[in-house]
A and B are shown apart, each in its own frame.
Chain A
Amino acid sequence: MVYKKMVAALRHLRQTKRIALVSVGVAFFATPAMSEDQVLRIAMTASDIPLTTGQPDSGFEGYRFLGYTIYDALINWDMSSAEDVSGLTPGLAESWEVDAEDSRIWTFTLREGVAFHDGSEWNADAAIWNLDKIYDEDAEQFDARQAGNVRGRIPSMDGYEKVDDYTIQFTTSEPDAWFPYQLSFLLFSSPAQWEALGGDWDAFASAPSGTGPFKLTRLVPRERAVLEPNLEYWDEERVPRLTRLELIPMPESSSRTSALLSDQVDWIESPAPDAIPRMQSQGIEITSNPYPHTWPYQFSMQEGSPWRDINVRKAANLAVDREGLEAMLGGLMVPAVGIVTPDHPWYGEPTFETRYDPEEAIRLLAESGFSPENPVEIKVLISTSGSGQMQPLAMNEYIQQNLAEVGIALDFEVLDWESLFPNWRRGADDASSRGAHATNITFAWLDPFSAFYRFMHSSMAPPNGFNWGYMDDPEYDRLLDEARVTFDQTEQDAILAEFHARMVDDAAWLWVAHDVGPRAMQPRVKGFVQAKNWFQDLTPVYIEE
């Protein structure tokens, strides 16, 4: 508000007698006009340039800008459509199949004729060399940092071997139909380049070589990464149209906003919502699209937790006015009625409708002996900010008011993100949970493991996974186990849909919102298709002069 008032005052000032002075100033100080080069400058939310050696850090933003740009996985994400669910597509592997006899064995046929940026050849030896980089602690090229970044994303990996020059085989620790999703996080760096740089990963970070559509040409830690197109990219349809891509870390959202408004950058990630009307008035375009992200309350099912009562769980889901919340966020969210969105093949056909119905909520709570005058008291862990948390304080206060109206009194235990996040793996029982009955952590659900299994399967209780609240339902376990060994995609989707519908009927969590991944860009930036994904394709983007 203060910002808007100041801007209005300034605008007034400019329109009055100072206008002459201002125009002289502009003529003297103005930034030189951009050259005809196709240069795109992006301000990221990360505070440093994510790791460039192959396996990026900084979460999915790292993969988005310094993973899938410089590198490829065996199986890439299809980011070509803004309408369809973003799925997997062949990358450095042309095809793959699971063994008919032993479903733990996967055979991958590698793509031929692919070269790394340094000109060396991609083949089975390069693939195995990269796997040793991650898994063989005795290998010369083993890199603890890259291993730490990716091993946790491939929980089923058990072994790998070369079959011939363009065929490799993986063995999983148990039959796992979700293995291909996990392999999308494994990126391949050039062995020849590593050798040429004296076997030094730090040197490799400044002069990396992958097979991806962009090449990194300059790295200034904490300040800037400069990428140029790989004109020899194997997928001709994805050869970048840009001549240069500059990535700038800028963690402060107000700094990103100012940088975009003063034309220092062309594109910013996560603009501050309250600055969006101001940006639009200057012709800046805001793009958004729902993607696999959910903002929930994950319940504790431990002894003494009020959420053990299904009436309380359902009442909470009926008491939240999600449309009101959406309006509060300026439309930058989609109401959540389950972990996944209703248009997703895993959504299923639940009988319980997650909707805004405070009267029904009051009725359900009355059955359990609670009322607005005699509310059930519940403690929730929330954060002040954090990756993907959207506007946690404002949203939680809104929900607190909604729930108080039906007879659920929320008490917040506010932590900083860096404390809340590690608590996730420690569970509701841990002292750091301070006796809370729910935790408010947002997450990505790209594949069935990250969407359901790690939260809902009883084997994933702390410290094994993120079943924070010790959910233990034999029927959930059975369906998830079955889906995990069903290698036919349609059948697997059907089982997951049955599981998801059951979970919604149980009101297993409080579902609140899906983020829409807003980004803001100058009107001259064209060609961007925002996929329903955490990752985005920068190759079709171009600058219109």
Chain B
Amino acid sequence: MSSYFLKRILYVIPITLAVSFFCFSLVHLSPGDPMDAVVSPDAPSEVVAMVQRAYGFDRPLPEQFGLWVSRAVQGDLGMSAANGRAVTTEVFSALKNTLLLAVAASMIGFTLGCTFGALAGYYQGSLLDRIVTGFAVGGVSVPHYWLGMLLVIIFSVELNWLPSSGAGPGSSSDWSFEWAYLRHLILPAVTLSVIPMGVVTRTVRAMVADILAHEFVEALRAKGLAERRIFLHVIKNVAPTALAVMGLQLGYLLGGSILVETVFSWPGTGLLLNNAIFQRDLPILQGTILILALFFVALNLMVDLVQARLDPRIQRG
């Protein structure tokens, strides 16, 4: 058992290295000059050279990569080319906001997804099942940003119930769990929750329906077990797969909320990435992608470990 855990943890090292290499090369392969983020286009060449030296952009790429990795290990991801602030501070202050949004969205999405999925699976073929499946397909298919804009038009512009942007009346650094701040969270969290809700609903529904058809369920019924207890057995069998799906979805929520954060001006990693792309801010791009990727890796690791606990067959496989 422990060898499985050890092996799974050791896998993280090559994955992390590969991820950091990809982060670094990807942004250097894309068109655009990082100096455009730093100096105005009419700056004479000696000014460009001066700033290039100050930022280390004049060195060969392998050397830049080596420096970047050795500093990254010590928690220093360099400074933003666009504003000169430390990348680590920038990314972590944004990550805090993204986490808040992702957790809120997954709480909505996973709760509704599991409930709807279990009900639909249990009453497979019923009207309820068809309605829930329809919603789930809609949830998976609807574009985030479109839904976000629609919600803004309805609830901010027309009804004036909820704010359309930002993370609070002041700024996200003053965040507190008070209504004045929470009302800023509602629209982006609902928007973001729709896809995971759809995905989880579909998974749970399929799994519940599948397990209900197993012979052991018949055996439990034959033994006279109450439906409520049988349902618990089913849920226990569904849990590992559902957990894996939710883990992946949480990962997507962390990295994939660029559009939603941009629509709602939510100061998280998605907005940070979006702005960094448009400003060609390479240090921010590299740092954010790396940290998000590592987050994803860690999340997968956690899901795998918990899954192995829930279903001992995984460790043997």
Residues of A within 8 A of B (CB): 3, 6-7, 10-11, 14, 22, 25-26, 29-31, 47-48, 51, 57, 59, 137, 144-145, 147-149, 151-153, 155, 202, 220-224, 248, 250-252, 254-255, 258-259, 261-264, 418-419, 421-422, 424-425, 454, 463, 465-466
Residues of B136-171 contacting chain A, CB below 8 A: 149-150, 152-154, 156-167, 170-171
Complex-state Cα separation, A29 to B158, whole angstroms? 13
Given contacts A145-B84, A147-B50, contact A258 B157 (CB under 8 A): yes
Q: Which residues on the A side are within 8 Å of B150 (C-beta)?
A: 6
For residue B33, CB closer than 8 A to chain A, the reply is yes
The answer to whether B50 touches A250 (Cβ under 8 A) is no
Given contacts A48-B275, A259-B164, A264-B166, contact A148 B40 (CB under 8 A): yes
Q: Which residues on the B side are within 8 Å of A147 (C-beta)?
A: 47, 50-51
Which B residue's beta carbon lies closest to that of A144? B54
Which B residue's beta carbon lies closest to that of A424? B41
Complex-state Cα separation, A145 to B161, whole angstroms? 43
The answer to whether B83 touches A51 (Cβ under 8 A) is yes
For residue B38, CB closer than 8 A to chain A, the reply is yes
The answer to whether B167 touches A26 (Cβ under 8 A) is no
Contact of B158 among A10, A221, A264, A425 (CB under 8 A): A10
The answer to whether A262 touches B149 (Cβ under 8 A) is no
Complex-state Cα separation, A252 to B275, whole angstroms? 10
For the residues of A in contact with B, the DSSP-based class is helix
Given contacts A152-B44, A202-B84, contact A7 B153 (CB under 8 A): yes
The answer to whether B267 touches A251 (Cβ under 8 A) is no
Complex-state Cα separation, A11 to B278, whole angstroms? 36
Complex-state Cα separation, A357 to B31, whole angstroms? 41
Q: Which residues on the B side are within 8 Å of A463 (C-beta)?
A: 45
The answer to whether A151 touches B165 (Cβ under 8 A) is no
Contact of A250 among B82, B165, B279 (CB under 8 A): B165
Complex-state Cα separation, A261 to B152, whole angstroms? 10
The answer to whether B44 touches A261 (Cβ under 8 A) is no
Q: How far is the CB of A148 from chain B (nearest CB, A)?
A: 4
Which B residue's beta carbon lies closest to that of A257? B157
The answer to whether A258 touches B42 (Cβ under 8 A) is no
Complex-state Cα separation, A501 to B257, whole angstroms? 53
Q: Which residues on the A side are within 8 Å of B157 (C-beta)?
A: 7, 258, 261-262
Complex-state Cα separation, A339 to B267, whole angstroms? 40
The answer to whether A11 touches B47 (Cβ under 8 A) is no
The 3 nearest A-B residue pairs measured at CB = A152-B43, A47-B275, A262-B156
The answer to whether B32 touches A418 (Cβ under 8 A) is yes
The answer to whether B43 touches A10 (Cβ under 8 A) is no
For residue B311, CB closer than 8 A to chain A, the reply is no
For residue B203, CB closer than 8 A to chain A, the reply is no
For residue B172, CB closer than 8 A to chain A, the reply is yes
Given contacts A26-B159, A26-B160, contact A3 B153 (CB under 8 A): yes
Give 30 pairs: A residue, B residue, CB < 8 Å, sorted on A: A7-B153, A10-B158, A29-B162, A30-B160, A30-B161, A48-B83, A137-B50, A144-B50, A148-B38, A149-B40, A151-B47, A152-B39, A153-B40, A220-B170, A221-B93, A222-B90, A223-B172, A251-B275, A255-B263, A255-B264, A258-B152, A258-B156, A258-B157, A258-B165, A259-B164, A259-B166, A262-B160, A418-B279, A421-B36, A454-B42
Contact of A264 among B39, B84, B164, B271 (CB under 8 A): B164
For residue B183, CB closer than 8 A to chain A, the reply is yes
The answer to whether A254 touches B263 (Cβ under 8 A) is yes
Contact of B47 among A47, A148, A262 (CB under 8 A): A148
Contact of B280 among A7, A31, A151, A418 (CB under 8 A): A418
The answer to whether A255 touches B262 (Cβ under 8 A) is yes
Q: How far is the CB of B153 from chain A (nearest CB, A)?
A: 6
Complex-state Cα separation, A200 to B132, whole angstroms? 59
Q: Which residues on the A side are within 8 Å of B94 (C-beta)?
A: 222
For residue B315, CB closer than 8 A to chain A, the reply is no
Complex-state Cα separation, A202 to B86, whole angstroms? 10
The answer to whether B164 touches A220 (Cβ under 8 A) is no
The answer to whether A255 touches B83 (Cβ under 8 A) is no
The answer to whether A155 touches B44 (Cβ under 8 A) is yes
Q: Which residues on the B side are within 8 Å of A14 (C-beta)?
A: 158-159
Contact of B83 among A26, A29, A221, A248 (CB under 8 A): A221
Query: Given known contacts A222-B94, A222-B271, A223-B172, what 13 new A-B pairs fall within 8 Å (CB)?
Result: A7-B157, A25-B161, A51-B83, A137-B50, A144-B50, A148-B40, A152-B43, A153-B40, A224-B171, A248-B265, A255-B164, A418-B31, A419-B32
Complex-state Cα separation, A526 to B272, whole angstroms? 34
Q: How far is the CB of A44 from chain B (nearest CB, A)?
A: 11
Q: Which residues on the A side are within 8 Å of B50 (C-beta)?
A: 137, 144, 147-148
Q: How far is the CB of A123 from chain B (nearest CB, A)?
A: 28
The answer to whether A7 touches B82 (Cβ under 8 A) is no
Q: Which residues on the A side are within 8 Å of B41 (C-beta)?
A: 421-422, 424-425
The answer to whether B159 touches A252 (Cβ under 8 A) is no
Which B residue's beta carbon lies closest to that of A13? B158
Q: Which residues on the A side are within 8 Å of B163 (C-beta)?
A: 31, 262, 264
The answer to whether B85 touches A202 (Cβ under 8 A) is yes
The answer to whether B43 touches A148 (Cβ under 8 A) is yes
For residue B64, CB closer than 8 A to chain A, the reply is no
Q: How far is the CB of A357 from chain B (nearest CB, A)?
A: 36
The answer to whether A252 touches B263 (Cβ under 8 A) is yes
The answer to whether A255 touches B43 (Cβ under 8 A) is no
Q: How far is the CB of B315 from chain A (nearest CB, A)?
A: 45
The answer to whether B42 touches A31 (Cβ under 8 A) is no
Q: Which residues on the A side are within 8 Å of B54 (C-beta)?
A: 144
The answer to whether A223 touches B166 (Cβ under 8 A) is yes
The answer to whether A262 touches B164 (Cβ under 8 A) is yes
The answer to whether B171 touches A466 (Cβ under 8 A) is no
Q: How far is the CB of A56 from chain B (nearest CB, A)?
A: 11
Complex-state Cα separation, A264 to B164, whole angstroms? 8
Q: How far is the CB of B176 from chain A (nearest CB, A)?
A: 15
Residues of B209-250 contacting chain A, CB below 8 A: none
Which A residue's beta carbon lies closest to that of B152? A258
Complex-state Cα separation, A152 to B278, whole angstroms? 22
Q: How far is the CB of B161 from chain A (nearest CB, A)?
A: 4
Complex-state Cα separation, A145 to B262, whole angstroms? 27
Q: How far is the CB of B33 from chain A (nearest CB, A)?
A: 6
Contact of A153 among B42, B84, B152, B166 (CB under 8 A): B42
Q: Which residues on the B side are within 8 Å of A248 (C-beta)?
A: 166, 265
Q: Which residues on the B side are within 8 Å of A424 (C-beta)?
A: 41
